[in-house]
Amino acid sequence: MMVRVRFAPSPTGFLHIGSARTAVFNWLFARRYGGRFLLRIEDTDQKRSEARYLEEILKDLRWLGIDWDEEPVFQSRRFDIYRAKAEDLVAAGKAYREGEAVLFRVEKGRTIEYKDMIHGPIAWQTDDIKDQVLIKSDGSPAYNFSCVVDDGFMGISHILRGDDHISNTPKQILFYEALGLRPPEFGHMPLILGPDGSKLSKRHGGVSVEEYKREGFLPQALANYLFLLGWSPGEEREILSLEEAVKIFDVAAMNAVQAKFDIQKLSWFNAEYIKKAGADELIPLLGIHLLEAGFDLASSDDAYIGRVLELYRVRIKTLRDFPAMVECFFRDDFAVEEGGRALLDDPGNRELIADLAVRLESIDPFGHEAVEKLFRERAAERGIKPAQLIHPVRMAVSGRSKGAGLFEMMEVLGKETVLRRLRRVAHGSADKA
RNA sequence: GCCCCUGUCGUCUAGCCCGGUCCAGGACAUCGCCCUUUCACGGCGGCAACACGGGUUCAAAUCCCGUCGGGGGCGCCA
């Protein structure tokens, strides 16, 4: 049997991280078995649905690396069909009209049972289920009904969805029966919870894919983190791409327990992907973040940003961390961290810096090895530790006590800039800014 | 209230289906050491869990029952 699954977003907001995970698992399932991954837009709520949300959702799916087959199905264009199907059920005596609405009659005394792909056998008594609305008074279809009509229409073979739909399943199975359709296989995956164990919501931080994108997370990292939340490849390996996951994905191996969202683990994944990413992929993204942080990139080309990137690549967890660490590479009037001023005002340090500035002049080309050699020789000659030279110079040149290797920084900054900054401190003019 | 799902380190998980190889393995976080011009990376090591109580069994994280805990649902929302 051809595997056909679907992801059915409602365009009433941005793509939620939990929905994204549902989409990823459906995609994984479809690709794993050579099936089709379809999209259905559940826009029956005309008031809350907006075209811009739909565009955002599709954009975010593509960004994550999820592609789909066939044209998306829009529920708003199928109202006539839902009504007709409901009328058929009324004619067959399986449903009845109540006011303007159409309700489904639930036969009492039955047991509805099915085998969940993730949870195993699950059963309900129809006595616990009341009659279900098929068509609302305003003529629009109720969720469970349009869902079944469309899944039947689209030839959906497997439904992988959130745990919160588990109690919709017996109702939907009843509809399949009434409509003369064979129910698909169902698999209910546990929801993602916030760090405190409650439902993941805005107060836990980002809930939409778009926010993570904006915060500087790479799509590969987000996808990787998401499909490892609830599923494990079994082997002790965690960094794997969607393509690698496709080869070994197995729904039956999915966990039946809800998992908490852990931003720290996501950050770790992101850092790992940043370490491995190609510079050509990172540089444009970094440029955007630098611009957003207010940097003037007029005199910085991609090659320069690339050199700075290589100095900070292992130090950032998100692309957004970058601007805050590299200010000194993009402007002379960078901020000097708290406590740094004292280091620069120290007369002894100024003397050391002035001395270094003079000696650095003769270094050409201004490479980090040559600069380091000079620092070490100078320290030895003066009988001090290299660190006593390095720390004040790092502060003079970058305004920070932390960062990449000083000599590499100096090389990237260039001789001219370095000397300008050293002289500025040597002459005690650093505090005018 | 009723119905359903679920319970291994702080977190994500492996193991559970096919009891013994598990005084429970990995990863994130955390702590320490090493590397080192700082920070980070990397390397090494530490702390840390089978929710609880009963069974079954020679033997249970693994099977059964109960309790407690967590989540979801019970909409003319989707």
Q: How far is the CA of A221 from the C1' of B37 (A)?
A: 33
What is the per-residue pLDDT for A1? Answer: 76
- Give the nucleotide nearest to A142 (CA→C1'): B76
Q: How far is the CA of A280 from the C1' of B75 (A)?
A: 51
- Give the nucleotide nearest to A375 (CA→C1'): B37
CA dihedral A238, A242, A245, A250 (to 10 degrees): 120
Q: Which residue is nearest to nucleotide B70 (CA to C1')?
A: A197
pLDDT in tens, A152-171: 999 999 999 999 999 999 99
Strand order in the sheet with A95-98: A95-98, A101-104, A132-135
Q: How far is the CA of A136 from the C1' of B77 (A)?
A: 12
Q: Which regions in chain A score pLDDT beneath 50?
A: 430-433
pLDDT in tens, A89-136: 999 999 999 999 999 999 999 999 999 999 999 999 999 999 999 999
What is the per-residue pLDDT for A45? Answer: 87
ipTM exceeds 0.85, yes or no: yes
- Give the nucleotide nearest to A229 (CA→C1'): B12
What is the per-residue pLDDT for A7? Answer: 97
What is the per-residue pLDDT for A429? Answer: 60
- Which nucleotides on strand B sit less than 7 A from a protein beta carbon? 2-8, 10-15, 25-29, 37-41, 70-78
Question: Is residue A322 a contact partner of residue A316, using CB atoms and an 8 Å limit?
Answer: yes
